[in-house]
Each structure stands twice: as structure tokens, then as C-alpha cells.
Structure 1
Amino acid sequence: MCDINDINLLFIALILGVVEGLTEFVPISSTGHMILVSQLLGFHYYNIKTFEIIIQLGPVVAVICILWRRVLGIIGLNLDKISNHNININSNKKLNINHITLGIIPSMVLGLICHKQIKNFFEPKYVISALLLGSIWLLAGQLLLNYRKNSSSVTVFIDDISYLQAFLIGCFQCFALWPGFSRSGATISGGILVGVSRTVAFEFSFILSVPIKLGATILDLYKNLPFIFLHDLPIFTIGISTSFFISFVIIKYLFKIIQCISLVPFIIYRFVLVIILYYFIY
């Protein structure tokens, strides 16, 4: 018979899986929301920081399941016809493993160097600061987008991204090592800054999420393997599977939504959240 505390932990893991799935691919910070919701629900789980990393496997698997043809094409296994759920694909199909490598090197190197320090920022007070700065960064991207609305020099197909643009977007992705900043927010505004369209920035952010999230999870598992036990598996399994199913549904419709709205709703949401959190915490 299950202990009531175990049932509560499993239920909270389910809720956090939903939160992760809903927030992973929109620029509002999934990690920041999980930290805040964990605090709100009193999730006093001894392996909580590892859980908040490993749960990201769900969205990663969802991306691979939906964009598997694109993923195979990037690693060199091109199929005759690529159809990627509303992703704009240029006939030249230039996007390759080199773009992805350049896009992940900056955050991968910085993440390895600062791995222990990053864990110290998994606290609400740091998340609030990151949410605020990330909101300002998103606002800068939106203002730049409005300024060059009719510019002909913008990259409008993901396959036309240059190696330099991929690397610079990867550099901006380093901001996301600070929980609350938002990886997608960092890469979207970063992509706009280096001359790609908002839709392409979203698409490239999706693809970059696979190696980045996978690498972070493997690294965290390796470092914390001695502290992960058999009784942790139900909590991890529920969190990962829930975040996978929610992410799978979200991704299906997100590209259509992004084409219809600006970054403004996300910016407003983040600013309002910062004000509410600041009021209640301080």
C-alpha cells in the first residue's frame, strides 16, 4: 500500500509535468515556472533539482517524434520528401549538423564550466530577476522586429541560416543557463537580432533544444547517479511522460499560433508574473 506522502509526490510530479509541457517551447521559461510551482506546492523532494532537469526529456522526445524527418536530414539521412508540420523548407536544404554544432557549442562549454554554480540559481529570488531581464530581452527583439518589418534582408527560410547566425544564436542561448530567462526567449530574440525572421527563430530554437536538453540531462544524470534510487523512478516516469504528451500536443499547434501573434502577449505575461511574484515574496 502506498504511503500518502508518496501519492502526494506523484501528484505534484504530474502537475510539474503539465507545467513543463505547456511552457517548454514558449518564451516564458519552463524551468523558472517549475521552480516557482514546486515552491508553491511545497514539493520538498530531496532530488528536486535533478527532477527539474530530467523532466525536460519529455519535450525532447516530443520534438524528435514530430520533427524526425528534419532531424534525420540534419544528421545526413535525407529522405526524398521532407514534410515537417508547417516548417518552411527551402529546396536547397542547407541546414545541417554544422549549424547545430555551432549553435550548441557556446552554452555547452559554459554549462560544463559553470554546472555547479548554475544549480545555485534554482531559487525563486533568482528566477524573478531572470524573468525580468528575459522580458526586457524579448521586448528588444519585438521592437527590432517592428522596426525592420518590411526589410528584404531577413532570413525567412530556416535552411538559409548561415553558420555565423547559428553560432551567434548559440551565444545568446547561454542566457538561458540562468533559470527563468527562457531558452526559447533567448534564442528567438537573439535570432531576430542576427537577422532571421521570428518564425525561423522559433524553428531553429526547437531544433537546438534536442541536443541541449539531451546533453544537460545526461550530464546531470552522470553527476547525480549515486543519489538516484529505484524509488525515484515512479516520480521521474510520471514527470517525463506527462511533459511528453503535453509537449506533443502543444508543438502540433504552436507553429500556426506563432505565425498569427507577436511576442507581446508573452512579454506582458512575464512582466505581470514578475510583479505578482515580487509582491508575494518580498
Structure 2
Amino acid sequence: MLELWKSIIIGIVEGLTEFLPVSSTGHMILAGHMIGFTGPKADTFEVVIQLGAILAVVVLYWRRLLRLFGIQDAATKAKPGPKMNLIHILIGILPAGLFGFLLHDYVKLLFMPETVLIGLVVGGIFMMVAEKIQPKVVAEDMDAITYKQSLFIGIAQLLSLWPGFSRSGSTIAAGMLAGTSRVAAADFTFIMAIPIMVGASGIDMLKNYKLLTSDDLLFFVVGFIVSFIVALLAVATFIKLVGKLKLTYFSYYRFALAAVMLIYIWMGL
């Protein structure tokens, strides 16, 4: 049986970073490299615990998700102006979903510490640029996001196929460049992540489920639960702070992490 402490560590890393603009994939690759948890089974485990993080978003946004399917409360019906619908989500996930499906095996070749460091730095620069040159905000909340803005965010999500770049980092920054507020971009990013992550996780699980045995069940269940609980706390906290926290702060963290890991790799630790 795989060691449960590794399950807990990777579950915490996934839960903390999945929806923050720091790249959960990059963090799991680096963490797995450091604790000696790599290979096909490790890749499958990372996919399973991502579903735990996704479930956290479903729990936090369940009312908003129901509204996408026309189930609305009195307050929502009375709210004037445009409302985000399933077409916005489809437009947002289509570019990355299509290219991710077609290039899935090639993208997996990039899953190594060295490429993650590049993604961390370049993604951090992209986020700093978004903060620096953000145009006038025309969409204060996600209900005001247009189809054009959804497409721009969806195209930018292609950048997240490079491990270390960060799905939330690329989409929140793109939303800001398209004229959405940081809060609107973050909310849209979280909801848009649900179908695209479920799809990506489903593909991986179908390809690798034969690697799993009954002895691995406890290891995977523990990782899933840890990822769900930590992601629930992380996302709830980020939602409250996203309006005040500039992406630049996360960029500094990314640069620092890349520098530390570069030294770690260079020294052959």
C-alpha cells in the first residue's frame, strides 16, 4: 500500500493551489518530485484528487450553478440586466477543451519540474501585465460578462495547458484585460473550471484506471477527502479576499518558488 502521508501531502497541495493563480499542476509535480511520488499511478492519483477540489467549488457555488439551468430564486429574477448562462460557459471552455483533447498526450510530455519553472515565471509576468494595464472595468460581476469576454478568457485558458502557467491565473488575468473586475473573472473562472476539469479528469481516469488495485483504495480516498476539505477552505477564503489581493502578489510568490526549486534541482536534491 502506498504511504498515506504522501496522500495527505499531495491532497493538501492540490486543495490549496487548484483555484489559486499559482498552478496546482505545477505544485503537485514539484511536490511529487520532492517526496518521490512520481509515475503513472501518481498521475492517476492527482487526477482523482482534482475531483475533490472540483466538488468543493460545486458546494460553494451550488446556487449559482442551478441558475445556469434556469432554477432561480426571487432575488435573481428581480435583478435587472444580463445574466450569465450556459453559452458563456461553453464559449469559455471550448478552446482549451478542444486543444486539450487533441493534444492530451503531447501536453503530458511537458509534465516535468523544469517546464513547470518556466510556466511559473511566464505566467507570473502575464498576471503582472494584466494588473498593470487593466482597462476600464465594464463587468463588475460575472452576470455582466459578455460572450466576447468569455471567448477571450477561453482562448487565454489555452496557456494553462503548459504546466505551471495556472488555469486560474491565465483566466483571471485575461478577464481583467477584457474589462472584467478581478472578482467577476475569478467567479467565472471557478464555475468554468468544473466542466473542463471533469472532462480532463475523466479522460485520464479512463486511460489509467487499470493501474489501480484494491490496495490503493484507502490512499485515494484519503487524498480525495483532504483535497476537498482544503479546497473548500482555500476557495472560500480567496473569494473573500480576491477583490483586495492583486495578482502581482501571487506573481512574487511564483517567482520565489521558481527560484527555490531551480536551486533545489540544480543541487540535485
Mapping of residues 1-282 of structure 1, within 5 Å: 6=1, 9-44=3-38, 46-81=40-75, 91-92=80-81, 94-145=83-134, 148=135, 151=136, 153-282=137-266
Q: CA deviation at 1:46?
A: 4.3
- Per-residue deviation, 1:111: 0.6
Stretches of structure 2 lacking an aligned partner (at least 5 in a row): none
1:198/1:254 Cα in 2 relative to 1: closer, same or farther (>3 Å)?
A: same
Identity of aligned residues (%): 38
Contact 1:90 1:157 in 2 (8 A): no
- Contact 1:90-1:158 within 8 A present in 2 as well: no
The alpha-carbon deviation at position 279 of structure 1 amounts to 2.0
AA of the residue aligned to 2:95 = P
CA deviation string 1:230-266 (max 9, x = no partner): 2232222111110100111122221221122211210
User: What are the superposed Cα offsets for residues 63-103 of structure 1, whole Å, 9 maximum, x if unpaired?
Assistant: 11111010011122223345xxxxxx964351000000001
Q: Distance in 2 between matches of 1:204 and 1:248?
A: 17
> How far apart, in 2, do the equivalents of 1:113 and 1:95 lie?
28
TM-score, normalization by structure 1: 0.89
AA matched with 1:127: V
Q: Distance in 2 between matches of 1:23 and 1:90?
A: 33
Q: Is the 8 A contact 1:20 1:55 kept in 2?
A: yes
4+ long deviations beyond 4 Å: none
- 5+ unaligned residues in a row in structure 1: which ranges? 1-5, 83-88
Taking structure 2 as the reference length, the TM-score comes to 0.93
Q: Secondary structure at the match of 1:175?
A: helix
* CA RMSD, 1 decimal: 1.7
Q: Distance in 2 between matches of 1:191 and 1:201?
A: 5
Query: What is the identity, as a one-letter code, of the residue corresponding to 1:214?
Result: V
